[in-house]
Amino acid sequence: MAARKPVRRGATKTPLTREAIAEAALALIDADGLDALSMRRLGGALGVEAMALYHHFQNKGKLLDAVMGRLLDEAELPARGSMPPLARIRRFAESYRRIAIHHPHAFILLTYRRFNTERTFELYESVLEALADLDFAPALAARFFRLLGYYVGGAGLADIASRAAQPDATPVSLERFGKSKRYSHVAAVAPHLRLANLDAIFEFGLDVIFDTMKKKSAGA
């Protein structure tokens, strides 16, 4: 019987690529939170020494940029010509919010880190292309681009909080808020702010934004 070859310590069955590292980093963040991510811990999860990761990413910041790119792979922007520009942009906004629901620990990366990579600029270009197809001048396109970013990013963070999905979250009081003389207006509105109504609230906000975009596109 032939002798078995010794297994090298730290060997991994998964080829160590930038994509595999980013995927593993996202899985670690999803499981334990952003603060749990370190090059050393990520290396352990991949079966390599931390230094091996630096052959692919210069530093942790570059790794986080790659995780952002991986998150943005879940944003859906239908191809140009497949549907009207407003419908394309709305589909994108809805899918962007879903990233927060699927990756509550990682979504914050998309709200407080700048988009500085080729992957993120490709996304910028595609969204701005759709806005240009509405005949918006660059200045107006920039305003709606920022408005959509503010709204969807803020809605995503609010969704995370409303689901108590962030690290060290406490129970959400609005989910069980009852009658109150001291907070009578909160008590009146609370049933409409609960988790079951978040989709409708988000779509209402999009209606307000997209109605305005439609009017601007029509020259109103």
In this predicted structure, what is the pLDDT of residue 1? Answer: 42
Burial of residue 144 (CB within 10 Å: 0-12, 13-18, 19+) is: buried
E strand or H helix at 152: helix 138-162
Phi then psi dihedrals of residue 29, to 5 deg:
-65, -45
Q: Which amino acid is at 24?
A: A
Give the number of other Cβ atoms within 10 Å of residue 94's Cβ: 16
What confidence tier does 14 reach under pLDDT thresholds 50, 70, 90? Answer: low
Return d(Cα 151, Cα 97) in angstroms, integer: 10
For the stretch 105-158, pLDDT in tens is: 999 999 999 888 999 999 999 999 999 999 999 999 999 999 999 999 999 999
Return d(Cα 203, Cα 73) in angstroms, integer: 22
Q: Which amino acid is at 29?
A: I
Phi then psi dihedrals of residue 37, to 5 deg:
-80, 120
The whole-model pTM stands at 0.86
Return d(Cα 191, Cα 171) in angstroms, integer: 16
Return d(Cα 119, Cα 84) in angstroms, integer: 24
